[in-house]
Structure 1
Amino acid sequence: MTLQTELAGVSFAATLARFGDRTAVSTQTGSLSYRELARRVEDMVHSFGQGRRLVALEAENSLPSLVAYLAALAAGNPLLVLPSGGSAADALIAAYNPDIVVQASSGEAVLDVRREDTAHDLHPDLALLLSTSGSTGSPKLARLSAGSIQANAAAIAEYLQLRPSDTAATTLPLSYCYGMSVVNSHFLVGATLALTDLSVVDPCFWDLVRAEKVTSFAAVPYTFDLLDRVGFADMDVPSLRYITQAGGRLAPDRVRSYAELGRQQGWDLFVMYGQTEATARMAYLPPDQAAENPQAIGVPVPGGSFRLEPVPGLDASELVYSGPNVMLGYAERPEDLALGRVVTELQTGDLARRGASGLYEIVGRRSRFVKIVGLRVDLGQVEKILADLGVTAAAAGTDDAVVVAIEGDHNLALIAKTLAQDLGLPRAAVELHPVEAIPRLSNGKPDYPAVAALASERGNDDDAPSAPDAGSTDVRRIFAEVLEQDDVADTDTFVSLGGDSLSYVAASLRLEQALGYLPQGWHLMPVCELAPAPHASLRQVPPSGTHRPEKPRGLSAWRRKVLAPMETGIVLRAVAIIFIVSTHIGFFHWTGTAHVLMALAGYNFARFQLSGERTARLRRHLRSIARIVVPSVAVIALAFAITDKYAWYNVFLLNPLLGPPGWSDYSRFWFVEILVHILLGLAAVLAIPAVDRAVRRWPWAFGMALVAVDMPLFFGLVDSHYPGQGPVLWLFGLGWAAATSRTLWHRAAVTAVAFLVVPESFDNPYRSATILAGCLILLWLPTLHVPRGLHRITALLASASLHIYVTHWLVYPLVDPYSKGLAVLASLACGVLYWILATRAMGFVEKRMKRRRSRSAVAAAVHSRPVTFRAYGRRAADDGVSPALAPGLRE
């Protein structure tokens, strides 16, 4: 028996069990069949109790949220879907007073049952309530019926030709109607959801795509910027069947470019158009039309139709949609939940025309809404938010940004941060401009075109105030200084700018100070998403799309004040270098931590060197090697010059190959030498396109392959020339595999290999135990809790660990005769000082070289096209563009 026989809910949600043992959902920890999912949904329905009640779900891309969503639809309980946490959810819960509030916590759905009976008069057709203006917290909701949801899911499944064999990755939030439509349409046909909240810039996302044989994912315009960043065009994704795009207008040249890319690689691009008021989708552009008509939204979805209604006073027509997926009407207060259908067709607010080919095209907007990165933002609500903060403002905007004129003297940077977070937008998508008075028309109403023009004025005004961009500017400045980059864009990430493990610690420390917290996976997040935490004087709302470190569970309040989480890799580097130096000096004896650092090197390589386009990654890889080689060789050369303990092949890091066998003074720099050899070898191997594609497709398997390659040396089947320490590539590979482990099975396999191999690595059981413990901590514990007062010194030691390692051999003999403890402190301090000086010196040289290359490129362009320069230089000067840059305009 299915739930549909007892309840008048949404059909596909109530009849999940009909697909039996087909896989419904795959997560990081496993998969769930349709039969198992239906059982969980039925259990949740019983938890809701008898009778129809208003359920509010703070939705996230997790299994508990998904089960609660399906259960409400199946049971016929009207469902108010909210973004997880923040002021938007709180405002809507306060406005509509739901009977039950559901949140996901620790892998479970937590129900707050506020009353046994409903406090509302709920219309029999009402099934779903969705915000119509993104995450602004506006009380205006679209009321959707069960029939609308079912009809739109069926229409989408029809034009996408969905099959039970399809698997979709959840690239968009469940709380967003576009992301919700992916869930609905796939469950309608018995397809699979790869449930995740990973971003497309995260290499783990592409691991998931390949592991689960994902056939599609959904994208908003901003997603394509991120796809460009990660080198999507060069990726091998053989399972991909199509990409869908909605959530705002994608520039025609981008549509054409990606449509042609899809033709080359065997997948389709579906450009789509929709609104929450139509459940999700109203139109789609057939993939075979995308390259030829990239400006169009296409044709109505099956079952729907368009008409063009002339707009008085405008030489244009408004697009009006009719179909079974049109909402019942709006709700602006709880009493509206009792209303039935008051809307039979949808006035979209978009101005459109129909081309000769029968395809519709949007040519403008009639209403006061803009859609940015997939969120529909009510500009009137923007003004209301600011008014609640005591700010007089007028808001305009485009599909790129909200532009606001602010009257009076205010802290624009602080207001901009808070507004961006309340809207759920990237900080770069909010522009605030100070004005003496709001621009107004003769009738006293705000002059919104004049407000919108402030954006272009600011773009041409070198003296415009920089306060509105302070949030993203802070992050750009940190990245520019730490990574020695002159030009940092909003879509750049730490990794795409060449960040590596040596610069990661310094950047993370400064970011935490600037933002007030450190988002998980920040090194893969674009600059515009790294939003500072708002000031307490306004609102304590965490930035949308980021995750604050969770408070340590089980700790008492006073311990929470004392301890704070810190990334495991940073802590291990700091502890390891202290143990290495102390052991070498004889302050105490604890071996094995250098080998833990080798595993950590593999871990960081997999994190920082596997994303982006292949040529860019190779440049980053070689730059990282140079950051190790240059400061190390400088110290070793000095040691060779002033002592008799080293040979010329130490200077060139060749002692493992040319030096005497066994352990000697010549072997003191073994860690740097072997690490450089491994990194150079990987650079050569990954420069082969076929190998590079294989590594990007199966990164975890490649890490395990590195372990396997070293086993003949490890077990003595092949003679190793490496002195004293023996083979360590397997440790590098073990760290690599730990970083790319995405499932419980992956981690279990790495753990098993560690338990099998590490105890055999050395005769000393204590050293082996240290190596094993370090590898397992790196694998299983993403953060460690460290006293807050030690965070700065821990980060400092971790940043300087390489420099401490190479300098301490020269430093401690000078102090050791007086005090071993003092020798340890002196070694650490001198290493930190050398790190500061070497980093600044290398940064200075890198900047000079980059500027010289840039000047040479401009000069070459000018001299190579004298005629073109003359022809275009005159036009460029007329447009206010420097003639030196004019040749680029012709391209």
Structure 2
Amino acid sequence: MTPLPELLPATDAAPFVHDLATHGDRPALITADGTISYTELATRVEEAARRLGPQRRLVLVAGANTVEALVAYLAGLRGGHPVLLVPDSGPATRTLVEAYDPDVVIGPVDGTWTIEERRRGTAHELHPELALLLSTSGSTGSPKLVRLSAANLQANAEAIAGYLGIRDTDRAATSLPPHYCYGLSVVNSHLTRGAALILTGLSVADSCFWDLFRAARGTTFAGVPYTFDLLDRVGFAGMDLPHLRYVTQAGGRLAPATVRRYAELGRRHGWDLFVMYGQTEATARMAYLPPDLARTRPEAIGVPVPGGEFRLAPAPDQPDGVGELVYAGPNVMLGYAERPADLASGRTVDELHTGDLARRGPDGLWEIVGRRSRFAKILGVRVDPQSVEGLLARHRVEAACLGADDELVVAVAGDATPARVRRLVADEVGLPPRAVRVLPAPRLPRLASGKVDYPALRAHAEAPEPAPPAAAPTADHDLCRLYAEVLERTDVTPEHSFVDLGGDSLSYVEMSVRLERVLGQLPPDWHTLPIAALPVRPAARPRRRVLETSVALRAAAIVLIVGSHIPLFHLTGGAHLLLAVAGFNFARFQLTDVSRRDRLRQIRAALARIVLPTMVWIAAVMALTDQYRLSTLLLVNSLVGPADGRTEWHFWFIEGLVYVLLGTGALLALPAVDRWERRFPFALPVALAGLGLLGRYDVFGLDARHDLPGGVVAFWLFALGWAAARARGTRQRLLVTVAAAATVPGFFGEPAREALIVAGFALLVWLPTVPSVGTVNRLAGVLAGSSLYVYLTHWQVYPHLRDRPLLALVASLAAGVAYGLLVEQAWRWAARLRSRRTAAG
């Protein structure tokens, strides 16, 4: 085999990349799926570097906290190729691809990590020192990039590893995105010392993040100011994290009170808080505050990192001792790039003018007192927006400020009233109240780094104010109250989504119908969006209405079931189609991004919503008639019989669905299976569908001998519906469609019935919505939301109206809807009772 150096460009990579293999079998990457050693990581990196070839090329890598993204980043550096590290998707990446025309693009395509070689050689002249290109803080997606060398990366990684005292036994969670310089510095500094990375894309607001952190014996994680807001919300102060050694903070100024509070928390629990200061132009870090000073000097950024130094440059209109902070050190960038031709440039700067106004305290610690470039002159008054933000923060108001020509724009998140904010700002700054414009918002726009997205804020401030719609949401239509009412929850906040709050397929229909009345047309993924991200004003009514396919199928299936039982017509297959839709909704509502424990709680709640109303109805019928037996009430008729009963088969579908949910829940209760589902969300249900085909085709002859329950025989339909919800891209959708078309025919021996099920699968897979009209939407919503209750009750309704089949159908549907309303009232009553007991206890 040709030695690797002979296959690579002559440009040297940073030593921390060269030296990966020297750390041997020590853990390098810890993921939810297992551990990768440094030896294995080095092998993967070198294999990927060989694929990139010996000629230096501009390599764009979609940054993500995944093994594939990290290997691609390191392989580019190992091969001496300049790496353009970008967000893993979205318009920012497309903008940079168009602006810089990379030779190679590495990233996910339809869920598969791919290397796209756009040309064999290179279209660029690349300076020998150029190693990495990053977007400047706040300019993600802009053509302006920071040019960094391998020496920059190594120097900053060594400095950070030094002052943090990183050990080879440390395990750092990737709590920030790698295309953000702070997140990348965590990666580089820990690889420098042979420490491990707990590789995850989860947020600190996700309980699964902390499950993984504890399981991996995590010792550190990084946060920006917004991270600490999230930590407060999730109860970080009460968490048991026995291996935590230190927490780092950068990415913007953290309020001194918060610094002091977290430093004190760390002192009590045995970990340190490092407050740091940096910019992308300095390869991440320029200063840090020693942890023992965080409680006494929380307003300071501290001292320069090893190898760096500060000075003050004169700044106009500033008091003595205050000037622009200038940094010099081996981690200062080569310069900026604004066009492809700049990639050929060498060093154009020797020191970094930060744009921050600073002073040095008597104790030698540096402090930031303002931002030079953000000063604005409004009506003759010089205003520092950052100071205004600090003022409002002291009054517990989360805000971001912008200076315009004749006004100060203050965006405010939360429930602070505009009048109060305007008064606070006007009194402090000396502006007339008319020059302070307050923009209330559910939340401030933020970049992936957690910093406020000021360009987006400015665009919002400059957008023309739309005319207020006639039906704008008011207090009566408060979305949180609406969610709380439908889901019987008392803990709803704007940060929650429908799935966060335990919404399921039964409540989904009612929620979507009621939301549509308030907001207009809903986005397709509304159930996964935080409430605050939903439009706060009704969208313009579309000319053509649509209906979600799963809702349409549920409504149509229950009508077909009841109509065929009467019989008004003979179109069977609706129950088996409902089983597929149940699998589809199981993936959407029970398999969310919450912890395994919360997933199991959601499955238990879904089972309760099915089992309890069923048993109540059957018990009521048993009290009045001899139609059912105890085995029917206990939903075990398919297990214990009697097999020749005339009515016991009525509830085979509900029994089957309950067994499927119990079995699937038990499977997902296994930590390994839960990890597989998150790692292979499409492959797992496909594999389960394959196992389910053993029952469908009775491979072992068990059905013939023991009369297997319907849930076992038809499980493959549920699993295929699950796979349909997880299918991404044409190939996966085609696989589900072909699987249904190949396995459903022959199951019943009724071509029309089988064609109905296959057609329903095709709609579910390929069409998220179907054309509709408002009246049909409302009717379908009611029927779909009541489908379980219609199925339960219609057996006791239609036999009395057989001679009038159309009336029998309408009465059966109406009875089910009425029972559904009664059940929902009972759920709400129970929720209120639990709430009162909780408050009393």
Alpha-carbon distance in structure 1 between the residues aligned to 2:691 and 2:270: 38
Moved more, 62-71 or 580-589: 580-589
Q: 1:348 aligns with which of 341, 346, 354?
A: 354
Question: Partner of 1:64: helix, strand, or coil?
Answer: helix
- 1:70 is displaced (CA, Å) by 1.5
C-alpha change, 1:604 and 1:780, in structure 2 (3 Å) is: closer
Cα distance in 2 between the residues matched to 1:641 and 1:765: 30
Aligned to 2:816: 831
Q: Is residue 2:805 matched to residue 1:800? A: no
For 1:813, the equivalent position in structure 2 comes to 799
Give the deviation of 1:252 after TM superposition.
Answer: 3.5
Counterpart in 2 of 1:767?
710
Q: Distance in 1 between matches of 2:603 and 2:711?
A: 30
2:112 paired residue number? 107
1:184 alignment counterpart = 188
* Equivalent residue number for residue 425 of structure 2: none
CA distance in 2 between counterparts of 1:733 and 1:779 reads 16
* Residue deviations 1:423-473 (CA, integer Å, cap 9, x gap): 997899848777999xxxxxxxxxxxxxxxxxxxx9xxxx99799x999x9
Instruction: Output aligned runs, 1:145-160, within 5 Å.
Output: 145-160=149-164
Comparing 242-251 with 768-777, greater Cα deviation is found at: 768-777
* TM-aligned CA distance change 1:343 to 1:477, over 3 Å: farther
Kindly indicate whether the alpha-carbon contact (under 8 Å) linking 2:689 and 2:715 is maintained by their aligned counterparts in 1. no
Which of residues 335, 344, 354 is equivalent to 1:329? 335
Cα distance in 2 between the residues matched to 1:175 and 1:91 = 15
CA contact (8 A) 2:412 2:440 kept: no
Structure 1 contact 201–525 (Cα < 8 Å) conserved: no
CA root-mean-square deviation: 6.2
> 1:733 aligned to 2:666?
yes
Residue of structure 2 equivalent to 1:96: 100
Q: 2:16 aligns with which of 9, 12, 27?
A: 12
Secondary structure in 1 matching 2:121: coil
- Does the Cα contact within 8 Å between 2:105 and 2:118 map onto a contact in 1? yes
Q: What's the offset of the Cα at 1:825?
A: 7.4
Post-superposition offset of 1:148: 0.8
Contact (CA 8 Å) 1:60, 1:174: kept in 2 or not? yes
For the residues of structure 2 that align with 1:175 and 1:727, how far apart are their CA atoms?
42
1:74 aligns with 2:59: no
Matched, 1:224 2:228: yes
Say if 2:313 and 2:326, in contact at 8 Å, map to a contact too: yes
Q: Structure 1's 103 and 504: CA in aligned 2 closer, same or farther, altered over 3 A? A: same
Q: In structure 2, what is the Cα distance between the partners aligned to 1:356 and 1:778?
A: 68
Amino acid corresponding to residue 335 of structure 1 in structure 2: A
Deviation at 1:346?
2.0
Go from structure 1 to structure 2 and tell me whether the alpha carbon gap of 1:340 and 1:433 turns closer, same or farther (over 3 Å shift). closer
The aligned counterpart of 1:318 is 324
Answer yes or no: is 1:55 the counterpart of 2:59: yes
Matches within 5 A, 1:193-232: 193-232=197-236
8 Å CA contact retained: 1:44, 1:67: yes
Q: Which residue of 2 aligns with 1:129?
A: 133
Flag the 1:247–1:573 CA change in 2: closer, same or farther, 3 A. Answer: farther
Aligned-pair CA distance for 1:636: 6.8
Per-residue CA distance 1:354-384 (angstroms, 9 max, x = gap)? 4555443333222239999xxxx9999x99x
Confirm or deny: 8 A CA contact 2:208 2:594 kept in the other structure: no
Distance 1:154 1:832 in 2: 67
8 A Cα contact 1:601 1:732, kept in partner: no
TM-score of the two chains, using structure 1 as the length reference = 0.63
Shift of 1:785: 0.8
**1:338 maps to which of 339, 344, 350:** 344
The CA deviation at 1:85 is 3.5
**CA separation of 1:269/1:9 partners in 2, compared to 1, >3 Å: closer, same or farther?**
same
Deviations 1:781-836 (A, max 9, x none): 543515432997987666434433543344343445655x9867764564346546
Change (3 A) 1:136 1:423: farther
Shift of 1:644: 6.9
Q: Which residue of structure 1 lines up, in the alignment, with residue 759 of structure 2?
A: none
SS at match of 1:56: strand
Shift of 1:313: 0.5
Kindly provide the amino acid, as one letter, of the partner of residue 107 in structure 1.
T
How far did 1:500 drift?
A: 5.0
Residues 781, 24 of structure 1: CA spacing in aligned structure 2 closer, same or farther, 3 A cutoff? farther
Verify: 1:785 aligned to 2:785, yes or no: no
| Contact 2:204-2:230 within 8 A present in 1 as well | yes
**Following the alignment from structure 1 to structure 2, what is the Cα–Cα distance between the partners of residues 767 and 24?**
48
Contact 1:602–1:733, Cα closer than 8 Å, also in 2: no
Cα distance in 2 for residues equivalent to 1:584 and 1:239:
62
Mapped contact 2:248–2:276 kept (Cα < 8 A): yes
CA distance in 2, matches of 1:508, 1:427: 33
Contact 2:502 2:589 in 1 (8 A): no
Instruction: Determine the structure 2 residue equivalent to 1:25.
Output: 29
Q: Once the two structures are aligned, what percentage of the paired residues are identical?
A: 45
Specify the alignment match of 1:281 in structure 2: 285
State whether residues 250 and 275 of structure 2, in contact with CA within 8 Å, keep that contact through their aligned partners in structure 1.
Answer: yes
User: TM-score if structure 2 supplies the norm length?
Assistant: 0.66
Residues 714-764 of structure 1 deviation map (CA, whole Å, 9 limit, x = unaligned): xxxxxxxxxxx9999556423555666445699699899989999989932
2:734 equivalent in structure 1: none
Q: For the structure 1 residues 395 and 50, does the alpha-carbon distance in structure 2 shift closer, same or farther, using more than 3 Å as the test?
A: farther
The superposition leaves residues 11-30 of structure 1 with CA deviations (integer Å, 9 ceiling, x where unpaired) of 22233232334343345665
Partner of 2:756: none
Aligned equivalents of 1:73, 1:431: Cα separation in 2: 36
Aligned residues: 724
The CA distance in 1 between the partners of 2:233 and 2:296, in whole Å, is 26
Q: Deviations over 1:835-854 (max 9, x none)?
A: 46764x57987999999999
Inter-partner Cα distance in structure 2 for 1:423 and 1:289: 25
1:274–1:281 Cα contact (<8 Å) kept: yes
For 1:307-360, what per-residue CA distance to the aligned partner results, in whole angstroms no more than 9, with x for missing partners?
344532123433332221111222233333333323222222223344555443
- State the shift of 1:215 in Å: 3.5
Is 1:298 the counterpart of 2:302 in the alignment? yes
CA change 1:730–1:50 in 2 (3 A) is closer
How far apart in 2 are the matches of 1:757 and 1:258? 57
CA distance in structure 2 between the partners assigned to 1:670 and 1:427 by the alignment: 58
Please say if residues 178 and 280 of structure 1, whose CA atoms lie closer than 8 Å, have aligned partners that are also in contact: yes
Higher deviation after alignment, 25-34 or 166-175: 25-34
For 1:426 and 1:794, how far apart are their aligned partners in 2? 41
Deviation readout 1:688-739 (Å, 9 max, x if unpaired): xxxxxxxxxxxxxxxxxxxxxxxxxxxxxxxxxxxxx999955642355566
The offset of 1:237, in angstroms, is 4.3
Contact 1:734 1:750 in 2 (8 A): no
CA shift digits 1:483-542 (9 cap, x unpaired): 4779964433435656455434544688899686545xx766544456899999xxxxxx
Distance 1:238 1:503, change over 3 A: farther
Letter in 1 for 2:716: A
Compared CA separation, residues 116 and 574, structure 1 to 2 (3 A)? same
Cα distance in 2, alignment partners of residues 145 and 726 from structure 1: 60
Structure 2 unmatched ranges of 5 or more: 376-384, 390-398, 415-420, 422-438, 541-545, 727-763
One-letter amino acid of the counterpart of residue 342, structure 2: D
SS of residue in 1 equivalent to 2:159: helix
1:400 and 1:75 map into 2 onto residues whose CA distance is: 46
1:198 is displaced (CA, Å) by 2.8
Residues 126 and 139 of structure 1: CA distance in aligned 2, closer, same or farther (over 3 Å): same
